Chains A and B, each alone.
Chain A
Amino acid sequence: MSDFAPLLEAAVRTAAPLLLAAIGESVSERAGVLNIGLEGCIIAGAYAAFVAGGTIPLAGYGAAVAAGAAVGLLLVAFSVWRRLDQIIVGTALTMLALGITGTLFRARGDIAAAIGSTEPAVVIPLLSSLPLVGRALFAQPVTTYLAFALAPAVWWWLHRTHAGLALRAVGDSHEAATAAGIRVGLVQAGAVVFGSALGGLAGGTLVLAQAGSFAESMSAGRGFIAIAIVALGRWRMTGVALASLAFGTAMALQYVVQALGWRVRYELVLMIPYLATLAALGVFGRGTAPAMLGRRRETS
């Protein structure tokens, strides 16, 4: 079983950015906005963290959040404010973010060495020496703890506050929400910017806590996987957290296979998370989506 503990540790670590992005996407979708630009938020956050995070990690995370939120603001401008098709706009924003970060990264190769190592794990004494799960649960980068703390916090906010109720009301019916005096556009804007900021943070985590560097298109579909995670988790925080862990494990397999030197073709191992997403969507994908998901507001 000695192989199992490192897999668990890698799984939880890999799940963290997925969970952050998926929590953000849940909030956005609960307000009825499908943020296909999430992938763009992640890559923007990753690049921002890469540029700003060389010396102070906190600056890196701040920049990542800001970059993600900036992409979110564009989605708000086009899809919430101008009511243009959410999916097309989101796809275009992903292309935009991948294009801009790729261009900047290639053009300014001189800062490639800015970040050498990843941010150290926050090791909790005693607990981290528990067998099997010790390091998986108690020796993680700070954003892992943040991600797993955020899930119950966001649940509480969505279900136990007036603002959360208003947000869910918007996702269920624009008309009813409007009749209740809720400003649909404003709520959606807030939800999208919050979700995109978390997407940015997820990208920052990839760079600062996992890879230690930036690579073109390093988001590698995580934004889309996070959107799938939200559907798999049926728009509920517990479901989203569990699905994130499952995908964290699927993605961590590639590191483990490499480390253990198993005789499996590397290219085939790389497919696993994507195959798992398809399979899981087929098996568990039928949940109850927020009624207004993807719909544009009627002009009043």
Chain B
Amino acid sequence: MTVSRWGLLGVAVLALLSVLFAALWWLSPTHDASTVVAAFWHGSLGTTSAFFSGTLVRAIPLALLGAGLCVAFRAGVFNIGGEGQLMIGAVAATFVGLGHSLGPLHVVIALVAGAAGGAAWAAIAAELRRRFGVLEVISTIMLNFIAASLVAYLVRGPLQEPTGVYPQTELVEVPARLVRLLPDFRLHAGIFIAVIVCAAAWWFLRETAAGFRVRAVGASPSAAAIIGRVDVPRVTFGALVASGALAGLAGGVEVTGVTYALYENISPGYGFSAIAVAILAGLRPAFVPLSALLFATLETGALGMQRDAGIPSVVASALEAVVILATLVIGAGFLRRTALPASTAP
């Protein structure tokens, strides 16, 4: 019985995938599969510039966000507001980056400000959940829209560059920029931050008492509260704020490492892609860098297909959704056991 159900659902996922690929082929103006594949390859991994200026650079925010989501999801907190937290982090980092020169520590302070901004933004949802039982799925989405409008307002109003022509801020001060690692490519020092954060998240969940409490709450809030005497609301609050801080850090890294300025579409949906990153990694931070690299490849490849084969790059978002569903179906046992904790019910 179970076997046939598994098989059937596997077939359903495969069918979805094949429909998507058929659609890709049909959508490409040339109707030529080899053009599509070549476009994907050249856009993502096929050239050194695509890899070191595109794919690796894109993997950095995905890894930061993904590591944060691992912690949040493990605690049973479904933070889908990474997008908004990233934007507020970017705002905070830009603010610091545009200010008085702070010497060699400027970039560090900008990044800390980014993390603080993201944490504060997530804390709104965390407080709404703790005090009023508001489902964080709803509140974080609402905060995404508010953050997007806020950024749109800032870059057309108070923070707009002095000529008032472009909807973006001035460039941040040079000391507030992350160094580039290779002469001709855009890869920047943020990659070390991403790797360190993933390692730290792995260590936190595995080795610390707080990390154990996070896992216990995610596995069963009532058991954690009764047997473990864990303050469940405090743990979920902390997990949501921590994931917000990492999202904000990702925003700070984007500003100080890639764009050097704030503008409206600073995130091409990183907050949502990161859900796929965390889930494909099985909510294990140790696998997040790999998973982030994979999705970065998918996305830069999709951009390549848009450039060279005329296929809209939003198709990547659909593929990510399929990966999430496929991982859930095929995936790790604990993922399926993570029930919605009783306290998240509205």
Contacts and interface: CB of A to CB of B under 8 A. Distances in A.
Interface in A124-149: none
Contact of B345 (A94, A228, A294): A294
Contact of A89 (B144, B150, B325, B339): B325
B152 A267 contact: yes
Given A87-B340, A95-B324, A282 B149 contact: no
Contacts of A96: 317-318, 321-322, 325
A216 B313 CA distance: 13
Interface stretch (A175-183, A187-195, A219-227): A219-227
A275 interface: yes
A274 B145 contact: yes
Contact of B139 (A77, A81, A278): A278
B146 A282 contact: no
B265 to A, nearest CB: 12
B137 interface: yes
Contacts of A94: 321
Interface in A251-300: 265, 267-268, 270-271, 274-275, 277-278, 281-282, 285-287, 289, 293-296
Nearest to A93: B321
Q: For chain B, what secondary structure do more than half of its interface residues adopt (helix, strand, loop), or is it mixed?
A: helix
Contacts of B20: 100
Contacts of A86: 340
A77 B279 contact: no
Interface stretch (B101-109, B126-134, B236-244, B288-296): B126-134
B251 to A, nearest CB: 18
A220 B134 CA distance: 20
Q: For chain A, what secondary structure do more than half of its interface residues adopt (helix, strand, loop), or is it mixed?
A: helix
B145 A221 contact: yes
Nearest to B340: A294
Interface string B269-280: 000100100010
B2 to A, nearest CB: 9
Nearest to B331: A84
B336 A95 contact: no
Contacts of B328: 78, 84-85, 88-89, 92
A96 B339 CA distance: 23
A82 to B, nearest CB: 6
Given A82-B9, A92-B324, A286-B133, A228 B138 contact: yes
A86 B345 CA distance: 12
A115 B49 CA distance: 43
A227 B138 contact: yes
A265 to B, nearest CB: 6
A118 interface: no
Contacts of B62: none
Interface in A72-108: 77-78, 81-89, 91-96, 98-100, 102-104, 106-107
A227 B344 CA distance: 14
A268 B154 CA distance: 10
B339 A296 contact: yes
A206 to B, nearest CB: 16
A282 B130 CA distance: 11
Contacts of B228: none
B185 to A, nearest CB: 29
B345 A271 contact: no
Given A91-B275, A285-B133, A221 B318 contact: no
Interface string B304-346: 0000001110111111111011001100000110111000111
Given A86-B340, A92-B324, A102-B314, 16 more contacts: A78-B328, A87-B137, A99-B321, A103-B312, A103-B318, A107-B311, A220-B145, A221-B144, A224-B137, A225-B142, A267-B150, A274-B142, A275-B146, A282-B132, A285-B133, A294-B345
10 contacts: A78-B325, A107-B311, A221-B141, A224-B137, A224-B141, A228-B138, A270-B149, A271-B150, A278-B142, A294-B345
Q: Which 9 A-B pairs have the closest CB atoms?
A: A99-B318, A99-B317, A96-B321, A106-B312, A267-B153, A102-B314, A95-B321, A294-B340, A92-B324
